[in-house]
Amino acid sequence: MPRYLSLVRVDEANAPAEGPSPELMQRMGELIEEMTKAGVLLDTAGLTPSAQGSRVHYTGGELSVTDGPFTESKEVIGGYALLQAKDQAEAIEWTKRFLKIHEAHWTVTCEVREIVEG
């Protein structure tokens, strides 16, 4: 079965300062458990804020490293889920379920992409 990467993009400037509520974390835990039992979820994690990250850029044969935060970025990758699904439609359905557990004040976008095998 194909694997898909769901990249969770968040707008750090508008995300709740206190992070996810306990209720959201509970709903997320329940969904993660369901997805794991269904054999769909292979791995998932949140990421630290971009202020704690670095970007490594290569251009013209030269490398540069920029430490966060990255002011030019409106959305940053805040987490990911590695899914194994029968097709992209199924991966998108699971991703929709993940997005729907968030409270209305969250703005979250997931980009679902198939992983090229071999």
More confident residue, 49 or 38: 38
How far is residue 91's CA from residue 100's CA, in Å, rounded to a whole number? 14
Interval 77-108: pLDDT, tens: 999 999 999 999 999 999 999 999 999 989 99
Instruction: Please give the model's pTM, rounded to 2 decimal places.
Output: 0.88
More confident residue, 54 or 69: 54
What is the number of other CB atoms lying within 10 angstroms of the CB of residue 85?
A: 23
Interval 2-19: pLDDT, tens: 999 999 999 887 888 888
- CATH level 3 topology of 3-114: Alpha-Beta Plaits (3.30.70)
Domain chopping of the chain, boundaries: 3-114
